Chains A and B, each alone.
Chain A
Amino acid sequence: MHIYIYDDFLEKSRYNKTLNKIETRLTDLGLSGKIVRLNNLKNSDKAIKEEVKQGAKTVVAVGGDKTFSKVINVLMSNDLSFFVRNIVIAFIPVGNSSLAETFGLNNYQQACDILLARRLKTIFLAKCNTLYFISNIKINGENAEIQINENYQVTLLRNNTAYIINVPSRKILDKIPNIKEIDENKLYLYIENNKQDFSFIPANKLKIKNQKNLFLSLDSCLNCEESADISLSDKQIRLIVGKNRAF
């Protein structure tokens, strides 16, 4: 059974056409299912959990990166750990989405077809304090100090942009041609300051100390402004991906 989680922004009238097209395509493909709308966060958490407990086999997030992250974080709740093992997660992007590109989904039409193809990839989620993320954390913070594996510390010297990567996006992969390979059992600290200079450091555990003007953005949406402990979690998801995925 498929469950479709619609983000609340899709209630705006300008998305009516898009949703009609998605629903028509899903019906044509024989993939129609129950729709849960994320109107109220508490109620929608409860609704998702109930559907999963009642035997949903495929949970599809429909919306943006934030929608996908919300759904992942609800599914990783402790009370669902028994049920989530058998669940497959999918994404139908509406609007701009960096996760969609990473998963190999060019647009919502293609995402519907990929849902039918059901190509599965198992991915370990990473954790930042209590929040789960799938792709990366963007770090903004002057002179940010990042402790790696409790052995050494990296200080950003100039106005760098830093990312902690779990599943790399195509954009980042294109910038690191000399890197051997991405180890799926590791996180990576990627720092760039211009086209010529970058740093790329594998890590198991990272700690960002509390400091002024620190701002962390998880998967381009969930925000964290405290000091952060970041590591790979022991929780994994089975995700439906396209052929052109970045990983």
Chain B
Amino acid sequence: MFNNKEKNIDKIKDAETVIGSSIKVKGNFHGKGNVIIEGRLEGSLKTDASLLVGEKAKISANVLAKDAFVNGEIAGNVKIEKYLFIGKTAKINGDVSCEEISIEKGAIINGTFIMSSQITKKSEQISEKNPTNKK
């Protein structure tokens, strides 16, 4: 899924969990499938699959996911294994790490970025050039 990543933001199919705008979730949420958040969440949020944060969503939590499409507010660190899309209405207060990223004009991000794949690739290249460095 998510072949046309940006186009599919509003069309996440096959969601396992949907947290609508009329509820508030407090605690440690851990899902295995795709998660859509349109409401409020406090605590921690983790899913082994994809995460969609809607425009009106307010999350006060550290977030872990495989892929994420963020259009709402997140106060907490965002750690994404693969692809992270940050939309123009997104507001992130926290550190962000991922492998690939797209950021739309208008997004607000206060925190540091770590592109994990580049770090891994660079260190692999250095190791290849200087095989003697290997232990």
Seen from chain A, the residues whose Cβ lies within 8 Å of a Cβ on chain B are: 151-158, 160, 176, 178-181, 191, 193, 197-202
Contacts and interface: CB of A to CB of B under 8 A. Distances in A.
A153 B18 CA distance: 15
Contacts of A198: 18, 20
Nearest to A155: B24
Contact of B21 (A152, A178, A197): A197
Contacts, number: 73
Given A180-B15, A197-B22, A153 B34 contact: no
B5 interface: no
A157 B22 contact: yes
Nearest to B22: A193
B125 interface: no
Contact of B16 (A156, A197, A202): A202
B109 interface: no
A27 B22 CA distance: 53
Given A151-B27, A151-B29, A152-B27, A201 B17 contact: yes
A243 to B, nearest CB: 26
13 contacts: A151-B30, A152-B29, A157-B23, A157-B24, A160-B22, A178-B12, A180-B15, A193-B20, A197-B20, A199-B19, A199-B39, A200-B18, A202-B16
B25 interface: yes
Interface residues of chain B: helix, strand, loop or mixed (majority): strand
B16 to A, nearest CB: 6
Contacts of B36: 178
Given A178-B14, A202-B17, A152 B22 contact: no
Contacts of B30: 151
B22 A158 contact: yes
Given A152-B43, A180-B34, A199 B27 contact: no
Contacts of A151: 27-30
Contact of A178 (B13, B24, B27, B31): B13
A189 B121 CA distance: 43
Contacts of B13: 178, 180
Given A178-B12, A178-B15, A180-B33, A153 B25 contact: yes
Contacts of A156: 22-23
B67 interface: no
A199 B23 contact: yes
Closest 6 CB pairs of A and B: A152-B27, A199-B20, A180-B14, A193-B22, A200-B18, A155-B24
